[in-house]
Chain A
Amino acid sequence: MPAERGFGYWRDPVFLVSLAVYVVNRTLIKPHLHHYSAFFHGHLNDALTVPVALPIYLLAYRWIGFRPDDEPPRWWEVALHVAVWMVFFKWFGPAILHHGIADPIDDGCIAGGGIVAWLLWQRGAPTRVPWSEAVR
């Protein structure tokens, strides 16, 4: 039954767990670190970019009518956004807006997080919620 295979967007378990990790890191871990930690101050956030941000972006595209269905994120949707985010956060931000840090390792973290998230999204049923329920 196709209607039951919709992606959950903000109710997707991968999104919710990743968002929880981000919130815990931002509110509980980072404020209590006495020294700079490359992992907690940088790499972790970068690795969470795709699983936290992409579902919201795709939901917006769905509302706009640009995304035609509620399938889990496709590989090219993940890859396209990873490419855009790499350019925006690691080049445009630091070089043009003078905000953010251009670190090649961060690119790997964004891509790695994207691959892991995509693999989890491909597992199917547990992450899928009908669109009609997702917009309630």
Chain B
Amino acid sequence: MIPDLPTLTGASGGWMILALKALAATGFMTAANVFILYAC
């Protein structure tokens, strides 16, 4: 049985929604890291 990760993490939505949120969070982290590297 596939673990219910959305319930585990408290994130709402299914696996696809969670994956999209993870992708968005990773994208933000990457962009912010590049900004810090060059601007700070």
Contact = CB atoms under 8 A, between A and B. Distances in A.
Interface of A: 22, 45, 49, 53, 56-57, 60-61, 64-66, 68-69, 84-85, 88-89, 93, 97, 99-100
A8 B21 CA distance: 22
Contacts, number: 44
Contact of B37 (A22, A65, A88): A88
Do most interface residues of chain A lie in helix, strand or loop, or is the interface mixed?
helix
Interface residues of B, number: 17
Given A88-B33, A89-B37, A65 B28 contact: no
A93 B40 CA distance: 13
A66 B24 contact: yes
A100 B28 contact: no
B3 interface: no
B29 to A, nearest CB: 6
A57 B11 contact: no
Contacts of A97: 37
A64 B28 CA distance: 10
A45 B36 CA distance: 11
